Amino acid sequence: MSARYRPGAPIDKAKKNRHLNFMGVLENQCLVLNRSWQAVNVITVQAALSMMAADAATGMNFTEGNFVPVRWNDWLNLPVRAEDDCIGTPSRRVRAPRVIIAVKFNKVPLKRPRLTMRHLRERDGGRCAYTERLLKPEECSMEHVVPRSKGGATEWKNVVLADKRINNIRGNRSLKEAGLTLKIQPKVPGAKPFHESLKSRLKFPEWEFFVKK
């Protein structure tokens, strides 16, 4: 009898779950290094495998604290260990890379921090822009120098770190109206090498070798 699909036929749940797991692995993150082994980007496993198959990248094989670049054909033959993620093909299981080397790229891209509370605290040293008092995380607020109600934009040049209590007292008034003076002036932070942005978001232990503390 033919094994063709029949409406209402039972679904192989184990096979379906494996397929969904493999699809999820393709969306995992992979660290990209340049030829000098400096972190330059984070991409999906799917994109990393495409680069490796096109010989635009080699995968980093980690074994007992050592790491060695491996080309695509050899990568396909690497064993899938218990700690590895993998994807399935009709003929084999392929280990998912966690770090690859872009063999034709040797630049170090610079990246400016996004405007977030964490990055604002870093820029202003964790101090209130009005009192210069060192604030606890729960005391911090993002203060607009020119209030949004008066056309102030949410951008680096118009925000400072401030004590929540001062922020609440000031409300929508201008600095002059509220009798406030900035002791810490807002500024756009300088761009930093890409690896600087990875320090607090290491996805895998293998990334630690290439991100400076």
Residue 129 makes CB contacts below 8 A (sequence gap 6+) with 143, 160, 161, 162, 182, 183, 184, 185, 186
Pair (27, 123) in one structural domain: no
* CATH number of the domain residue 167 falls in: 1.10.30.50
Domain membership of residue 183 (yes or no) is no
Pair (27, 106) in one structural domain: yes
Confirm if 37 and 207 have CB atoms less than 8 A apart: no
Pair (44, 67) in one structural domain: yes
Domain membership of residue 76 (yes or no) is yes
Question: Whole-model pTM above 0.75?
Answer: no
**From first to last of its 213 residues, what are the pLDDT tens digits of the chain?**
334 434 444 544 444 444 446 568 899 999 999 999 999 999 999 999 999 999 999 999 998 878 999 999 999 999 999 999 999 877 889 999 999 999 999 888 788 888 999 999 999 999 999 999 999 999 999 999 999 999 999 999 999 999 999 999 999 999 999 999 999 999 999 887 777 766 656 778 898 888 865
In total, how many domains does the chain have? 2
Phi, psi of 149, rounded to the nearest 5 degrees: -65, -20
Q: What pLDDT sits at residue 14?
A: 43
> What domain range includes position 173?
117-178
Pair (93, 144) in one structural domain: no
Pair (34, 99) in one structural domain: yes
Pair (30, 133) in one structural domain: no
Pair (105, 123) in one structural domain: no
Calpha distance 192→110 (Å, rounded): 5
